[in-house]
Structure 1
């Protein structure tokens, strides 16, 4: 995804960025409908993909007051869906962890370029 405070030279997947959609909505202005999304941004951890996996490692992008950076974007700026894999490290995963809270319970994620052909072609 692209948008927000970013410009294309800051991107790491050919000018795109990683974001989590929190809300889809639209509004009308002068009889034109604008489909939008509220997103939370992720930032890369390193300047290149991880050597062992070949995947980028990202983490939530935080504002100066330690909240996740969020913004509203137009749906035309969304390139495609991606698959984020939690980075487990050397810790055990709690048995009570629910899949629906994964993005809230881990600090780092791999951008899975192996999920399908289109992801492999998009995420270098």
Structure 2
């Protein structure tokens, strides 16, 4: 099971078949076990290079998505800057907790 950030939903037609797809940025699991304090898995965005300039983006068919997850930013020990808006949160932080308790389905099937 993996987590990803959906950037775009789109579809295209090829040989009279419609293909609904999404452009996604993968997240990698951080560590081999859940956080001992929260019990949640920690994820971080995946990149192709060590300088974190080239995001690991993929195009996949919508049928391969299982369910939505709630990624909670790992805020760290410092106060949150007021300039960070909700729509920048996936760009502003480097680690996230996967909230498997966000809904019934996520709790039953995630990790």
Q: TM-score, normalised by structure 1?
A: 0.84
User: How far apart are residue 54 of structure 1 and its match?
Assistant: 1.0
Q: Is the aligned partner of 1:25 residue 2:10?
A: yes
Equivalent of residue 87 in structure 1, options 74, 80, 85: 74
Q: Is the aligned partner of 1:99 residue 2:99?
A: no
Q: Which has the higher strand share?
A: 2
* Two-structure CA RMSD over aligned residues (Å): 1.0
User: How far apart are residue 45 of structure 1 and its match?
Assistant: 0.5
* Structure 2 residues without counterparts, runs of 5 or longer: none
* Structure 1 residues without counterparts, runs of 5 or longer: 1-15
Equivalent of residue 72 in structure 1, options 56, 59, 62: 59
Q: TM-score, normalised by structure 2?
A: 0.93
Q: Distance in 1 between matches of 2:75 and 2:110?
A: 21
